[in-house]
Structure formats: structure tokens, C-alpha cells
Chains A and B, each alone.
Chain A
Amino acid sequence: MIDVKGLDKVFGGVHAIEGLEFSVDQGQVYSVIGPNGAGKTTLFNLITGFYTPTRGEITLNGESVVGMDPNRLAERGMCRTFQQMQICMNMTALENVMLGRHLKIRSGLLSSMFRLPALYREERACRERSKELMEFVGCGNYINTDASAMSYGALKRLEIARALAADPKILLLDEPAAGLNATETAELEELIRKVADEGVTVMLVEHDMKLVMGISDRLLVINYGRKLAEGTPEEIRNNPDVIAAYLGG
């Protein structure tokens, strides 16, 4: 589904990502791990169009997506969440999720201004689907709450609901478990599994090893922007390079 070849990103002379190659197959849960500052978030930003690669090729279902804006990528079924959550605090929780369905809505300016029946129908369907998704991620109690009044953990799930509202084919989650307690993390693992079971490809950046090892089909380990290892959780666990990097080699 995603193929990355010879990817380089240089910030003012510093190689944040260097010569990265990997591919993610449809339906996989694919995790990227590595020490702080290894370039995981930079990699996500490159894949999702927030950064432009210095060199290299990224293809999504065979189409090159280098230099494409995030909104164009969204049209191709890619959606993501952020380590620094990006929630519209000037809206309610439900409106945030409804925003996720932006691309599914056809009504334009005129039907908006004059509130034509087609718009009304579309909005109702959008609202119902968004409520379902909020229940799905476990935010059902917050439907009419202002986003600014929600707890950190609830917002993390809300962001996932918004991403799911776009009916993504591939979902990128950047440290979804950061700041969550053990119970919340367990719920999150359950949630990611449910999403993957529905056929959505999931890419994950995460520090919580227990979560990552339990849920991933494949893992990519990067350090200083370079690939250290790639493989199944079992292979990664037994890889001497990874052990060295993580246990202070």
C-alpha cells in the first residue's frame, strides 16, 4: 500500500531521515519505533505531506505522493492523528468528528446559504455516523461537550474518531498512547485492533513496547533517521542491533 524508497530529509544540514526504505501492505498494523529524536514523527510528516522529502520516493497504491498537500492525500484515503493533538477547540466534540467527514459532503455554497433539503439530509447522515464513531471510540458521553472541556484521554480518542470519520484506507497514529494510563492504553489497544479488523491499514508510532509488540504485524526500528531493523515482533525482539540500541549499546 505504501512504498518508501531512498527517503532523505535534511534540516539545515542535519539528516533527520536518511536512506529509508520499507513498505506497508494493505491491512497490516505497521509500527515505527526508535529512541526519542530518531525521526519517527518526521517520517510521519513526510508520508502525510506536511514535509517535502529532500530526496526519495513515497508511493501510495502505486501513485507517487511526494509534494502532495495533506488535503489531497486525505482525498486518497490517508488520515492521521498527531503527537501534539490537533483538535478544534472552538467546536464541540461532535463537530470535530463531523469535520472528519468533510470529503463525504457534496453540498456547496448555495445549498449552505439557503439551507436546501439536500444539505439537511446530508448533515443528518453525517451527524448519525459521527455519533456512532464517538460511541465506537468510547467518547459517547461527550457528544455535545465543547472540545475545550474534555480530558486529555478523551481528546486522544476523539482525534481517532475524527480520523475514522473520513473512512480512511490507511490511518497513521502518532503516539496515541502517550499520556494515557494503563487502563486507557488497554482500551486503545482494543480500539486499534477493532479498526484493523475492519480492514484499515494502520501505521503507528509508539513508545509503549507492550502495546506495540502485542498489536503489530510488522515493525520498523529507526535510529538517527536510519533503518536499524525491520520484521515481525518476534524477529525484532531477537535482533541483536535492536537490543544493543535499546539496552545502551
Chain B
Amino acid sequence: MFSEFLQYLFTGITIGATYALVALGFTIIYNASHVINFAQGEFLMIGGMGTVAFMGLGIPMFFAIVLAVLLACLVGIALQRLAIAPAKNADVVTLIIITIGASIFIRGIAQVVWGKDYHVVPSFSGDEPIRLGGAVLNTQSMWVLSIGTVLVVALILFFTRTLIGRAILGTSMNKLAAQLVGVKTQMVLMLAFGLSALLGSVAGVTVAPITFTAYDIGILLALKGFVAAALGGLGSGLGAVVGGILLGVVEAMTAGYISSEYKDAVAFSMILLVLFFMPRGLFGARTVERV
């Protein structure tokens, strides 16, 4: 009974950690540019599929991962330079369609280059599971959680302790003021996309041994990340993490106790309910409408 619950909880937290990283990626880009990047999931796909492809070339796993992450960062920066920057004054809907177009484009390329097959990425440290209170925990889940934690801590340090991080934060609060004190906002936007791609691809490769990877996994992950980010409140880093974990746990519990077919429906009902009562998510900024 309890072990069952514990099992679902582990599963939920593991997948939730992935959602949290995707949501953080959304948050970084949203804060820097007010764009919701529907291509966010493609970064995860590039992380997983890139690792598979580079390993296929005989490159050791660690370096394959590094290359895949670098590739994703390049794609992220290119996305900002070539697709988002030229459309600076576009409507919200137009920007959404641009990022969806980008996501389809990246998926299309991946399908041509890497094929349509599903791939397995080997676990980082063997397949021997850990037993804990009657529940089984994959070592890969531990990797997901610890890498997730390290990334979150690193992000916090980056945004509070480094000059570049503060520049990004400053730009997201007040673009004009940041420009006035000499922050190059275009540079900041590129960095934000690059950083977001880094988060996404690391999450993608870390979770790939658990979930498999293929050219078309991005879209659903992007949606889940968007749900998590909106749940926590767009723009809030804490919200993204809490929203991600919450979403993962609710999904796992629904799948375990109610029905796995309806786990996504429960997740989407939850976001609706939260938005009904808290129109800016759990931790979103409560702004006063200025007139």
C-alpha cells in the first residue's frame, strides 16, 4: 500500500523534475523576451537524439552528451537570431506560430538526419535499481534528480552572483533601463535562448534512458513544460520548479490510482482549475493594471 504510493511518488518526482527543467527553460526565455517558445521541447529531443547519434559515431558517452548539448545551444541561439529577432514587433499569436513553425522545422530536419526510429540511451551508471521502502528506484532517476538540483542551484547562483546573470535579470525587469546602463539586450536575448537550450538538452539526455527518445518527443514535452510554467506562474523560477514537480506527481498518481489514459486530462484539468482561481498561476507576479 505505502510502497505503491512511494513508487508513484518516485516516478512522479523524476518525470516532474524533467518538466521543471523544461518549464525553467520557458521561464528564462519568457522573462527575457515575453515569448513562449513552443520549440522548447525540441531542445530535449536534440539532447537525447544528438547523444544517440554522436555515440553512434563511436564517441564516448560523456563527450557525445557534451556535443549534443552544444548542438542544442547553437540551435537555440540560431532560433533567436534568425527567427525571433527579425519578428520583434509581432503579435503574441504570430510569435507563437513562429516558434511552432521552428519546432516543426527542427523536428523535420531531425527526422531526415536521424530517422524516425525510437532509440534507447544507456543509463549513466548501470541498470541495477535501488530498493527503498518497498519501492524500486532506478539509478537514472537519481541522476535526473541530482542533475536537476545541480542545474537549479547553478541557475540561482548564475542569476544572483554573476554579472551576466544579473544583466539578463535586469533586462527582463526593465529593458530600457538595462540598455541605459550599457547592457546589450540583443546579446542578453541570445544568451537566454542559449541557456534555455542548455537546460532543455541536459534534461533531454538525462531522462532519455528512462523514457526512450525519438525525433518527435519534443512537442508533448514542450506542452507539459508550458503547463508546468503556467501552473507555477509564468516568469517565476520557483513557480517553474514547483509547477513541474506538482505536474509530474499528479500525473503519476492519476496513472497509478485512477487511469493512465486520463493522466493527461487530469493534468490539464488541474491547470484550468488553478487558472480559474489564480489567474497568474501559483507564484506569478500580481501586477496592478496601469491605466
Contact = CB atoms under 8 A, between A and B. Distances in A.
Asked if the two chains touch in their complex, CB atoms less than 8 Å apart, one says yes
Interface of A: 11, 41, 45, 50-51, 82, 84, 86
A48 B14 CA distance: 50
Interface in B248-291: 288-291
Given A45-B291, A51-B288, 8 more contacts: A11-B288, A41-B291, A50-B289, A50-B291, A82-B291, A84-B290, A84-B291, A86-B291
Contacts of B289: 50
Nearest to B286: A12
A51 B291 CA distance: 10
A45 B289 CA distance: 10
Contacts of A82: 291
Interface of B: 288-291
A176 to B, nearest CB: 15
9 nearest A-B pairs in the assembled complex, by CB-CB distance: A50-B291, A45-B291, A82-B291, A11-B288, A50-B289, A84-B291, A86-B291, A51-B288, A41-B291
Contacts of B288: 11, 51
Question: B288, B289, B290, B291: which has the most chain A beta carbons within 10 Å?
Answer: B291
Nearest to A83: B291
A39 B291 CA distance: 13
A9 B290 CA distance: 14
5 contacts: A11-B288, A45-B291, A51-B288, A84-B290, A86-B291
A82 B289 CA distance: 14
A46 to B, nearest CB: 11
Nearest to A80: B291
A54 to B, nearest CB: 12
Contacts of B290: 84
A168 B193 CA distance: 50
A82 B290 CA distance: 11
A41 to B, nearest CB: 8
Contacts of A86: 291
A199 B42 CA distance: 64
A224 to B, nearest CB: 19
B124 to A, nearest CB: 47
A14 to B, nearest CB: 12
Contacts of A11: 288
A86 B289 CA distance: 14
Contacts of A84: 290-291
Contacts of A51: 288
A174 to B, nearest CB: 9
B94 to A, nearest CB: 15
A45 B291 CA distance: 8
A152 B291 CA distance: 18
Contacts of A45: 291
Contacts of B291: 41, 45, 50, 82, 84, 86
A116 to B, nearest CB: 33
Nearest to B290: A84
